[in-house]
Amino acid sequence: MQQYRYFLRLAYDGSRYHGWQRQPNGITIQQTLEEAMSMMLRSPVLLTGAGRTDAGVHANEFFAHFDFDQQITKAEGEKLVFRLNGFLGGEIVLFELFPVTAHTHARFSAVSRSYRYCISRVQNPFRRDYTHFLYGHLDHTRMNEGAEVIMGYEDFTSFSKVDTDTMTNICKISHARWEMEGSELVFTITADRFLRNMVRAIVGTLLQMGTGKITLDDLKRIIESKNRSEAGDSVPAKGLTLFRIVYPNDIYL
């Protein structure tokens, strides 16, 4: 039986979820979507996501693919997206469903991913679920000097969770920078791939630079140690958002 591959483009507020990937002990984005789609398509749907966001992490843009034994027209896809959004209740929102080539993979075909980590410098009740509030002086010029250092490395074992199933800890970072956006200090980072917990560990370590706890030489030593215990603590998940994923143009039908 012929199978057709489809991509979903979506966003989600991860506050109440245990991340993207199915877990035995908590509700996840993947499980919620698979159950809703299986019900509406009256056939089991198995989704493969573009990555594994941790519990509490948000996504402004996320992709997942699934295979289906029937063709879904553009009009049918738009209707399905509308019905699913009505069912999902607003914390998970689908933007579109579209066909892709059979070999396209939501995770492995991605060219790059970009994350934002937001630190609030002023307490704001409307941003408390999406920022990490920090009081006191932060030297973001020194933090940007640290970000430049990080971009010169490719092995990020020091910023990865231990005992993961990844084959390599090599990542190629193309952008890493802190910017003030109103009352928020925002770290943006882009790479071809990320390790589990990597961004939150990098942010926690760069914050140590911002408070004067470590120097540039310390940062280099931490990275070269390839030891997670040498790096800073992971910052809270709520400040992290996956905001962009880029794919080659030739995936689209």
Nearest to 237 by CA among 117, 124, 157: 117
Quick one: 157 and 232 in the same domain?
A: yes
What pLDDT is recorded for position 249? 87
Task: Please indicate, yes or no, if residue 116 is contained in any of the structural domains.
Answer: yes
Give pLDDT tens digits for 232-242.
999 999 999 99
Of 70, 90, 108, the residue at which a domain comes to its end is 108
Question: What is the pLDDT confidence band of residue 251, given thresholds at 50, 70 and 90?
Answer: confident
Quick one: 98 and 47 in the same domain?
A: yes
CA 196 – CA 162 distance, rounded (Å): 9
Quick one: 46 and 146 in the same domain?
A: no
What pLDDT is recorded for position 168? 87
Question: What's the domain range around 62?
Answer: 4-108
Number of domains in the chain: 2
Quick one: 77 and 188 in the same domain?
A: no
> Could you give phi then psi for residue 210, rounded to 5 degrees?
-65, -25
Task: Please indicate, yes or no, if residue 249 is contained in any of the structural domains.
Answer: no
250 among known catalytic residues: no
Question: What is the pLDDT confidence band of residue 176, given thresholds at 50, 70 and 90?
Answer: very high
The residue from 13, 54, 69, 192 that is catalytic is 54
What pLDDT is recorded for position 7? 97
Give pLDDT tens digits for 81-133.
999 999 998 999 999 999 999 999 999 999 999 999 999 999 999 999 999 99
The CATH number given to whatever domain includes residue 12 is 3.30.70.580
Q: Give the number of C-alpha atoms closer than 13 A to the C-alpha of residue 244, restricted to the C-beta side.
A: 11
Task: Please indicate, yes or no, if residue 203 is contained in any of the structural domains.
Answer: yes
CA 5 – CA 138 distance, rounded (Å): 47
> Could you give phi then psi for residue 85, rounded to 5 degrees?
-60, -35
